[in-house]
Amino acid sequence: FNNSAIVSIIDCDFISTPGMPYTCEFSIDNPLRRDDFERVGGEHIDGNQDVNVLRVEGIDQNTMIVPRILCIQFRSLEEMYFDDSGIEVITTHAFEHCLNLKSLTLEHNSITTIPNMAFSHSRSLELLDLNNNQISSLSPNAFLNTRLWYLNLETNHLTNLSADWFSSVRETLLLLDVANNRITQLQDNVFAELVNLV
């Protein structure tokens, strides 16, 4: 069996529904964790092009990473949805071209940690859903430069919470979900700086 014979592909079915954002429903087969894609394939609906794509959606796909080509090619992208797709790692370059991203859902994957500056280029990011992963820790600057008001960390492997994790969103974070983790004790004043938490 020759691993080099495995070809990684990304292809879109473009969806245009009245009242909904122009969407790429993508399929991806990326068992080798490649991140050198040159293009996402697929035929646009008449009158649309890459710049019109505002949402990408993948459910039950096969990739260990979020390929950066999605935000490079679809530069107006505002919403990204990866559900149950085997994602294990958020690379430092995954979202560097996601300048307009507002909503990111990475639920039901296998992510273990959120690295430093992971979303630092996504200055419009407001909603982040990481529910049902295997996250046990966050880097202190994981959410730096975002405008997060909603953060879902439900059903992960967190054993504690640190005030440092949320310091970069202290003024914007309104809703925080940490249900169904492994937390047994909270530090004093862990939420004290979250001045708008409701």
Task: Enter the DSSP assignment of 114.
Answer: E
What pTM, to 2 d.p., does this model score?
0.93
46-96 pLDDT, tens per residue? 999 999 999 999 999 999 999 999 999 999 999 999 999 999 999 989 999
Tell me how far apart the alpha carbons of residues 109 and 87 are, in angstroms, rounded to a whole number. Answer: 5
127-168 pLDDT, tens per residue? 999 999 999 989 889 999 999 999 999 999 999 999 999 999
| Phi, psi angles (nearest 5°) of residue 169 | -120, 25
| Phi, psi angles (nearest 5°) of residue 14 | -85, 135
Lookup: tokens for 187: 């530090």
Do residues 103 and 126 lie in contact, with contact meaning Cβ atoms separated by under 8 Å? yes
CA–chain centroid gap for 118, Å, is: 9
